[in-house]
Amino acid sequence: MTNWRRPKGIDSRVRRKFKGCTLMPNIGYGSDKKTRHYLPNGFKKFVVHNVKDLELLMMHNRTYCAEIAHNISTRKRKDIVERAAQLDVVVTNKTARLRSQEDE
């Protein structure tokens, strides 16, 4: 997916804002500052790469939730999920890439 680029063509239907065409982004689509960057569960997202990163959320576990980075192995994911349960930190993708017992 590429970034938004403003249509500049002389015949562009999007630039001329025809009904039924793609809407152009403008300042009115932003959310208010109090709720910006909040997830639907009420937390802000913090990407975690290891257990040490998770320790940073110990004092902020009511504001931030952890999201395990996509390139973390299954073994390290288990360690992070276990430590998050001890620290009472919410993990948004704790079930991702965890194998069941019969696969091991």
pLDDT digits (tens, 9 = 90+) for 9-29: 999 999 999 999 999 998 888
**Do the domain assignments include residue 19?**
no
Q: Residue 41's domain spans which residues?
A: 31-97
Q: Do 84 and 54 touch, CB atoms closer than 8 A?
A: yes
Task: Tell whether the torsion through CA atoms of 32, 34, 39 and 45 is positive or negative.
Answer: positive
Phi, psi of 102 (to 5 degrees): -70, -20
Q: Do 89 and 65 touch, CB atoms closer than 8 A?
A: yes
User: Within 13 A of 36's CA, how many CA atoms are on the CB side?
Assistant: 6
Closest Cα partner for 72 from 60, 84, 62?
Answer: 84
pLDDT digits (tens, 9 = 90+) for 55-88: 999 999 999 999 999 999 999 999 999 999 999 9
CA separation for the pair 9, 11 (Å, rounded)? 5
**Do the domain assignments include residue 38?**
yes
Q: What is the pTM of this model?
A: 0.73
Q: What's the total number of domains in the chain?
A: 1
**Do the domain assignments include residue 63?**
yes
**Do the domain assignments include residue 78?**
yes
